[in-house]
Structure 1
Amino acid sequence: MSNLQLRIISGLVLAVAVLTLTWIGGLPFRLFAVLIAGAVFYEWTRMTRPAHLRSMWLMPEACMAILLIALGFGVSAGSFLLLALAATVIVAALGFVRGSGSWEAAGVAYASLSGFALAFLRGDDQAGLLAILFLFAVVWTTDTLAYFVGRSLGGPKLAPAISPGKTWSGAVGGTVAGLAAGVIVSFLAGTGNHLLLGLAALLLSVVSQIGDLFESWVKRRHGCKDSSQLIPGHGGVMDRVDGLVVAALALYVIGSVAASADNPAQGLFGG
Structure 2
Amino acid sequence: MSEGPLPVPTSDIRRTELRLRVISALLLVPAALAVTYVGGVWFALGAGACALILLREWSLIVKAQNARIACALAYGTVTVAVIAASAGEVAAGFALLLVATAALALSAVAMGQRHILWLAGGVAYAGSSGAVLVVLREGTAGLAVIVFLFGVVWATDIVAYFVGRRFGGPKLWVRVSPKKTWSGAIGGFVAAVAIGWLGHQVTGRAGMGVWLLFAAGLSVFSQIGDLFESALKRHFGVKDSGHIIPGHGGVMDRLDGLVGAGVLGYAVAALLTGSMVDPVGQIISMRGY
**2:193 matched to 1:179?**
yes
Q: Count residues in correspondence.
A: 267
* TM-score (norm: length of structure 2): 0.85
Contact 2:48/2:79 (8 A) holds in 1: yes
1:129-178 Cα distance to aligned partner (Å, 9 max, x none): 11111111111101111111112221111111111111111111111111
The equivalent of 1:81 in structure 2 is: 94
Contact 2:139/2:280 (8 A) holds in 1: no
Whole-Å Cα distance in 1 between the matches of residues 113 and 203 of structure 2?
48
Whole-Å Cα distance in 1 between the matches of residues 221 and 148 of structure 2?
15
**2:119 matched to 1:108?**
no
Q: State the one-letter code of the partner of 2:77.
A: I
Q: Which has the larger radius of gyration?
A: 2
Contact 1:131/1:269 (8 A) holds in 2: no
Q: CA distance change for structure 1 residues 128 and 108 in 2, over 3 Å: closer, same or farther?
A: same
1:106-149 Cα distance to aligned partner (Å, 9 max, x none): 11111111111111111165x00111111111111011111111
Shift of 1:30: 1.1
Pick one of 89, 95, 101 that aligns with 2:108. 95
Q: CA distance change for structure 1 residues 137 and 268 in 2, over 3 Å: closer, same or farther?
A: farther
Q: CA distance change for structure 1 residues 143 and 199 in 2, over 3 Å: closer, same or farther?
A: same
State the percentage of identical aligned residues: 42
Whole-Å Cα distance in 1 between the matches of residues 145 and 113 of structure 2?
38
The equivalent of 2:11 in structure 1 is: none
Pick one of 117, 120, 128 that aligns with 2:135. 120
Contact 1:130/1:189 (8 A) holds in 2: no
Whole-Å Cα distance in 1 between the matches of residues 26 and 188 of structure 2?
21
The equivalent of 1:156 in structure 2 is: 170
**2:225 matched to 1:225?**
no
Shift of 1:196: 2.9
Q: CA distance change for structure 1 residues 222 and 98 in 2, over 3 Å: closer, same or farther?
A: same
Contact 2:78/2:126 (8 A) holds in 1: no
1:195-214 Cα distance to aligned partner (Å, 9 max, x none): 33321211111111111111
Contact 1:189/1:269 (8 A) holds in 2: no
Shift of 1:232: 2.1
Whole-Å Cα distance in 1 between the matches of residues 62 and 229 of structure 2?
12
The equivalent of 1:144 in structure 2 is: 158
Whole-Å Cα distance in 2 between the matches of residues 21 and 193 of structure 1?
30
Shift of 1:233: 2.3
Identify the structure with bigger relative contact order (alpha carbons < 8 Å, sequence gap 6+).
Answer: 1
Shift of 1:191: 2.6
Pick one of 63, 68, 87 that aligns with 2:79. 68
* TM-score (norm: length of structure 1): 0.91
**2:210 matched to 1:196?**
yes
Pick one of 239, 242, 250 that aligns with 2:256. 242
SS of the counterpart of 2:180? strand
The equivalent of 1:135 in structure 2 is: 149
SS of the counterpart of 1:231? coil
Q: Structure 1: where are the runs of 5+ without partners?
A: none
Q: CA distance change for structure 1 residues 269 and 138 in 2, over 3 Å: closer, same or farther?
A: farther
Shift of 1:268: 5.1
Shift of 1:103: 0.6
SS of the counterpart of 1:265? helix
SS of the counterpart of 2:238? coil
RMSD after superposition: 2.1
Q: Which moved more, 1:234-243 or 1:182-191?
A: 182-191
